[in-house]
Chains A and B, each alone.
Chain A
Amino acid sequence: MRKIRVLIAKPGLDGHDRGAKVLARSLMDEGFEVIYTGIHQTAEDIVRTAIEEDVDVIGLSVLSGAHMYHFRRVLELMKENGINDVLLIGGGIVPEEDKENLIKMGVDAIFNPGTSIQEISDFIRKNLRRPL
């Protein structure tokens, strides 16, 4: 079976990366290949990395409150680049009503604090858009 590749990135000026690092490490323990880019990524950086690394999943961690902007921009660039077989998921501090709007916008899932790693990895495995 091929390896599932997941990009974990932090967009914008938010420097709180402990959660993203814990997640990267935990997804490794689940057998995924995790491409970790670190903080201060632009949407352009993120989509470019997703293309070069041919990932199955883009995971964004946003704790700054700017989630609506970052996800919208990444979705735009994904569309522009014809990326339609990659899951876009996110985590961080996202209020319920924004969560609903993000899902409507095309984000596949938002995981709030307290989500178990199992839940995230199960979601990825069940919802992959490419054959394993």
Chain B
Amino acid sequence: MRDAMEIMVELQKLTKHFGPIRAADEVSFSVRRGEVLGFLGPNGAGKSTTMKMLTCYLAPTSGTARVCGHDILTDSIAVRRKLGYLPEGAPAYPDMTPLAFLRFAADVRGICGAERRKAIDRAVELTSLQGVLKQPIDTLSKGFKRRVGLAQAILHDPEVLVLDEPTDGLDPNQKYEVRQLIAEMAGSKAIILSTHILEEVEAVCSRAVIIARGKVIFDGTPVALEAKSKWHNAVTVRLGRKSAADAADALRKLEGVSEVLVEDGANDAERALTVFSRNGNSIINDVADLARSKEWRVLEMRTEHGRLDEVFRDLTAAGKEAK
């Protein structure tokens, strides 16, 4: 991995106004080779607009971006050669068969002869399209249509892949397959995928960028995103009902604990206490020590993971109030 850290995509204050609406407002981030960047945001946050500018479909109002060193404003054909793009909804010519469609894409990109056959075989193999190659795209299911779009995007083995909601509308098996595919390709490429499914970020992304009302409001690893949750490193303890009564008070007095939530357990004989960490540090040892010293009847004890959906809601809603 000689050039694993090489910057492949660099957005510089990319901005798009539609009349008075700022669809994208000085969006800046960069993606290195080997990274899978999850581009998150509520609907209408500017994800698609940003991707359309990056792929040279829309011209930015201001700002620019570079793909493999080529500027999207001055060298857009070179940018488009380097890019594989799956537009939102995976549009394809409905009358064509996947085979004819892929041949067309190859021809436009100047891949011909034996090379074309090889490229198509590879893309078809990776997206498991073998069974439907000669059926009009019109008659294909949503999952297959999406895969045709993906096959088109990876046909020329691009160094940069931009996928706009690649798993939207797919069933769980298909989602799994597409994620597998992305994970397989991740090593040698820079991949940007937009989604509003948070589990996807945990599943395939090495980085997350959250955008809301056109602005980037988070840029970091999925782990860092998770750590922003108040559930991060919280400890849930299931106790016998008798022990639970004074346990809540004792736990609240622990240093590093911000809050204790008491809930009814699965049955009348027990209670579930959730102990939140004050600054996100691990507190399970402190809780365990306390439980041992007080000789509580502990039925279960576990560390919670951060809740991405809650972080996401907090982050994207916070901007609304600030506005």
| A and B found bound together | no
Give B residues with C-beta under 8 Å from A: none
Give A residues with C-beta under 8 Å from B: none
